[in-house]
Amino acid sequence: MGNAKPETGAFFPRDRSLHPKAFTPDYKTSVVRSPQKALLSLNNTISEITGPVFGHEILGERDNDLILNFAKPGESALGERIIVHGRVLDERGRGVSGALLEFWQANAGGRYRHAKEGYIAPLDPNFGGCGRTITDDDGTYSLRTVKPGPYPWPNGVNDWRPSHIHFSVFGHGFAQRLITQMYFEGDPLIPLCPIARTITDQAALDQLIAPLDMANTIPMDARAFKFDIVLRGRRSTLFENRMEGN
């Protein structure tokens, strides 16, 4: 959290036009899992403005290093070594300090370490597929991993997920809670993917695609990709609307 004063303002209303709709029939699972009635608009109360905040003390040394955090001593995960780095910002462009990021992904062959996973690509005995970190005072974060492979999934008869890393993000308020996916620049599977295509706003989808960042590569070791994440911003409390006498 740094030394910044806690923020207590209500969040800007969510621009739902940039998010996927709930009912997106090309992504078949959404058909019976999408609410059909209108959402009830609720101006933020303290219950939505506040949220859990996590301290750096929860982190282990290798939590943001998926190459090593599941590997046997002296071994490491197989695949293309990459660094993903960026900032968590709010809609006002300010860095969000103390944001908890959790990430998960398939291994380099496109296989998840999960009981329900059925793809024939092999597990990597040195790759678990989960990691987490907390942003610094200016909102920066980084992680090291192997580039996840694309994988087929049962939706259409020949649907493939582009390479992606799942991100779960905590800002400072429960209303900022967000789960998204990061894609990789130049992946020809992105425009074909029914999940990526649940986002119909092209600029919003482009915002999920991380560019190759050669300036932050570690020569002879790992390439870098940059992925900034924007959370909802909140009103300044300078002239917070209060009932007279309150």
Which residues in 122-141 contact another protein (CB under 8 A)?
A: 128-132
84 near another protein, rule: CB under 8 A = no
Which residues 6+ apart lie within 8 Å of 97 measured at CB?
1, 2, 4, 135, 136, 137, 138, 139
The residue from 76, 142, 207, 217 that contacts another protein (CB under 8 A) is: 207
Q: Which of 27, 112, 141, 183 is catalytic?
A: 112
Of 82, 79, 93, give the one whose Cα is nearest residue 142. Answer: 82
**Least distance to another protein from the beta carbon of 90, Å?**
8
Build a one-symbol-per-residue string for 12-51: x at contacts with another protein by CB under 8 A, - elsewhere. xxxxx-xxxxx-x--x-xxxxxxxxx-xxxxxxxxxxxxx
Q: Which residue matches tokens 């924007």?
A: 230
Q: Which of 164, 172, 232, 234 is catalytic?
A: 164
96 near another protein, rule: CB under 8 A = no
- Hey, what long-range contacts does 4-7 have (CB within 8 A, 24 or more apart)? 4/97, 4/137, 6/172, 7/172, 7/173, 7/234, 7/237
Annotate 194-245 with DSSP letters as a single string: TTGGG---HHHHHTTEEPB-GGG-BTTTBEEEE--EEEPPB--STT----TT
Q: Which two tokens stand for residue 161?
A: 């997920």
201 near another protein, rule: CB under 8 A = yes
146 near another protein, rule: CB under 8 A = no
The answer to whether 27 is a known catalytic residue is: no
Burial 100-111 (b: 16+ CB within 10 A, else e): bbebbbbbbbbb
**Cβ atoms 187, 148 nearer than 8 A:** no
Element (H, E) at 48: helix 46-49
Cβ distance to another protein smaller for residue 45 or 158: 45
The residue from 67, 103, 110, 139 that contacts another protein (CB under 8 A) is: 103
218 near another protein, rule: CB under 8 A = no
What is the Cα–Cα distance from 47 to 68, expressed in whole angstroms? Answer: 38
**Least distance to another protein from the beta carbon of 83, Å?**
18
Contact stretch for another protein (CB under 8 A) within 77-85, 97-105, 139-147, 212-220 = 97-105
Build a one-symbol-per-residue string for 150-189: x at contacts with another protein by CB under 8 A, - elsewhere. ----------------x-xx--xxxx-xxxxx--------
Contact stretch for another protein (CB under 8 A) within 53-61, 74-82, 140-148, 209-217 = 53-61
* Catalytic residue ranges: 112, 151, 161, 164, 166
